[in-house]
Amino acid sequence: MNALVKDVMTTRVIWVKPDTPFAAVAAALREYRVSAFPVVDDDARVTGVVSESDLLAKLALEGGEGTMPGMITGILHHKEMEKARAVTAAELMTDAPVTISPEDTVEHAARLMYLRAVKRLPVVDSGGHLVGIVSRTDVLAVFDRSDDEIADEIRQDVLRGETPATPGTLDVAVIEGVVTLVGSPGTIEQGRRIVRETHHIQGVVAVRDRFEYPEPGPADFDMVSQLRGGVTIDGV
């Protein structure tokens, strides 16, 4: 089972409006102990995200480029200088924020957080309206499953219906989320497929492939070649 964002997201979201003053944003970050807020317009659509790092620019740059040494000022990005002069959330925020849908998988959310180096993602519906937020902690909750739950799901959803070389020989053991697959799959491709599907089971930390694979036979074209060389084939 692939967990969805809607299964782990937080629906009680603290957000700010574009005209929220700098001091109010800073106070809210301290009060709620979070590192970022979505910025939401009057139609409840997410227009940006304001984070602690956005606010730090004012303190680090002391309110403007005029107080900084010339060489350092030249290196600083223009956007950061604008944030140092910002007085509202709209001026502070990162626009075009990275968002995600409630129907997206937790795996996709984790990939986005990793690739975009963000700690949380606003969750929006098809109209861009804020419906929740998902954090790194929420995503990691998928690993909070017992070994027995994981093993049962693999047996029911992955191994069930597979036909091994010897019926009843495919099995799984799970210890601390690490899965060990044992038995004799009917083909190499069947075994590889089981391993791939097991990797996507919620809560799996790693998969150890301990299958006993059958020896690969000659390729089809080799068999045809042998037949043509040693046996008379009707019509050829």
The predicted-structure confidence for 75-130, as pLDDT tens digits, reads as follows 455 667 777 788 899 998 988 889 999 999 998 999 999 999 899 999 999 999 99
Question: Residue 190 and residue 193: Cα distance in Å, rounded?
Answer: 5
39, pLDDT greater than 90: yes
Percent of the chain with pLDDT over 90: 55
Q: Is-contact 94 51, C-beta < 8 A?
A: yes
Give, as one character, the DSSP assignment of residue 215. P
Between 214 and 194, the more confident residue is 194
Mean residue pLDDT across the chain? 83
Distance CA 18, CA 97 (A): 14
- How confident is residue 147, by pLDDT bands cut at 50, 70 and 90? very high
Q: Is the pLDDT of residue 61 over 80?
A: no
> How many other β-carbons are positioned within 10 Å of the β-carbon of residue 24?
14
Q: How confident is the model at residue 54 (pLDDT cuts 50, 70, 90)?
A: confident
Count of C-beta atoms within a 10 Å radius of residue 133: 27
| Phi, psi of 109, rounded to the nearest 5 degrees | -60, -45
Nearest by Cα to 168 from 157, 159, 180, 156: 159
Helix axes 22-32, 52-61, angle to 10 degrees: 130
Q: Is the pLDDT of residue 224 over 60?
A: no
| pTM across the whole model | 0.68
- Predicted confidence (pLDDT) at residue 60 exceeds the cutoff of 90: no
pLDDT per residue over 25-34, tens digit each?
Answer: 999 999 998 8
The better pLDDT of the pair 191, 96 is held by 191
Q: Are 136 and 120 in contact (CB under 8 A)?
A: yes
Residue 56 pLDDT more than 70? yes
Cβ contact 133:123 at 8 Å = yes
- For each of the domains in the chain, give its residue range(s) and CATH number, in order of start: 5-142 (3.10.580.10), 147-211 (3.30.300)
CB 64 within 8 A of CB 84: yes
Who wins on pLDDT, 148 or 2? 148
Q: Is the pLDDT of residue 12 over 70?
A: yes
